[in-house]
Amino acid sequence: MTEADEKALRLQAALDGELDAAGMLAFERACAEDPALAAEFARMASLEEALRRAAPIEPAPAHLRARMAALGAPPRQRPWLFSAPPPALAASLLLGALLGYGGGLLRPAQPQDERALVSAFMRTQIGGQSVDVATSDRHVVKPWLASRAPLAVAAVDLASAGFPLIGGRVEALDGRIAPTLVYRRREHRIEVTELPLSGGAGETIATSRLDGYHVARWSDFDRSYVAVTDLPETELADFVAAFRAAVAAEREEPRAK
């Protein structure tokens, strides 16, 4: 088996949720080191999710199932069309559907980094491994991320605002390594990724809904931020306000001294 074959099998296992915690962690590290692998995983995950929304699987009619049972057909021999199709085939079917219908199922274009970060949120939600360094101590998370990403990370403590820090990880975005902080709100997560400043900093916060998740994007000082969560938009707004206030306070501390 070639290295390419092994990579394809591991990618498929990750998509199918067949990797254990250690295997998923190793796969996430491989994605961080291989932007092409990370991009392919995000693309396949997005295709699967789009297919599930655009063409939900319906059970076979009761009369057909009754006829099959009368014929003595064992369940394992039933065609896959009566259950979820294999992911690779699902992606091919979706691509064909999009081309065949002239793009009628396509949604408005989203910024590439937002799409990739939503896919990363979905991946970690499925895999159960949302952080590379798991701790609520920002003094541990901050240097860990700073040693792996080109940006100085604003790992602020938001526990008093109801958003405790649970750790961080690195993401590969179009060949760039970006630090991601992970916060918790009840049983939900908010993942905020820091990116180089695009345009000027300002007060505007852009919000959107992508693949069922809420996304917020804003700029402060010398960088941009993208936050992704499955929380309601109002709670995402509360998080952004708390995060921006904490970052601003941290920036003012050196001047006060």
Q: What is the block-wise mean pLDDT of the chain (257 residues), using blocks of 10 residues?
A: 70 70 75 79 71 56 63 44 43 42 36 85 84 91 86 86 94 84 94 80 80 90 89 95 91 60
CATH superfamily label, 112-256: MucB/RseB, C-terminal domain (3.30.200.100)
The residue type found at 175 is: G
Q: What is the pLDDT of residue 165?
A: 95
CA dihedral 200, 162, 134, 120 (to 10 degrees): -50
Q: What is the pLDDT of residue 252?
A: 72
Cα dist from 78 to 70, 81, 83, 87, 245, whole Å: 13, 8, 9, 18, 57
Q: What is the pLDDT of residue 176?
A: 80
Residue 236 to residue 216: CA distance in whole angstroms:
8
Q: What is the pLDDT of residue 93?
A: 40
Domain ranges of the chain: 3-100, 112-256
Q: Which long-range contacts (CB under 8 A, 24 or more apart) does 159-165 make?
A: 161/238, 161/239, 161/242, 161/246, 162/238, 163/190, 163/239, 163/242, 163/243, 164/136, 165/135, 165/136, 165/138, 165/141
Tokens 């936050």 found at: 227
pTM flag (> 0.85): no
